[in-house]
Amino acid sequence: MRNIVDQVNQNSPSPALEVLERVHAIMHLYRSAQQRSLRAGPHDLAHMEIKVLGFFARHPGATQSDLAAHSGRDKAQLARLVRGLRDRGLLAATADETDKRSTRLSLSSEGKKMFAALHRHDGALAEVALEGISEAERATLLDLLGRVRANLEAGQG
């Protein structure tokens, strides 16, 4: 009786797919290192919590509606994330002067400290990831990744 070899999952991916799979693997390694760093600190933050803090670090005084418009995420999910970050003292809220129904959010002093530490760690991690890659190669990589992103964004229309 002949052995039948299962060919499923044994075909090499196309070169284009291999590029995207490597980008995905790199981001997985990066996020894992980022999470280990956060767990070592006083706050155990999930990826989306980091994203929310990053949004309010870049847009202090923005509203939860601004975050929803920017992220495209479910408003209820974002409300839970924001509430949790406020409860942990990482986000501060103030009433909007012109619309009392709206709340303006920004990083609290504790949130700023935590986000600054995360930013420092991310910078160090990025340098480790790009060790041995010249400035010219980094510029080329950025250009190529920008083109990949533009191609994907153009294809969404």
CATH at 47: 1.10.10.10
Strands (E), 28-136: 91-95, 103-107
> Per the structure, how many domains does the chain have?
1
How far CA 58 is from CA of 25, 70, 102, 128, in Å, comes to 27, 12, 19, 25
| Segments forming the whole domain that contains residue 44 | 31-155
Tokens of 156: 């969404």
Q: If you average pLDDT over residues 32-37, what whole number do you get?
A: 80
Cβ atoms 51, 58 nearer than 8 A: no
Distances (CA, A) of 155 to 46, 67, 152: 30, 25, 5
C-beta separation of 111 from 53 below 8 A: yes
* Residue 7 falls inside a structural domain: no
> Measured between alpha carbons, how far is 121 from 157 in angstroms, rounded to an integer?
36
In a domain, residue 17? The reply is: no
pLDDT digits (tens, 9 = 90+) for 134-156: 999 999 999 999 999 999 999 87
65 falls within a domain: yes
Whole-prediction pTM: 0.69
Half-sphere exposure of 102 (CA within 13 A, CB side): 12
Q: Note the pLDDT tens digit of each residue in 104-122.
A: 999 999 999 988 888 888 8
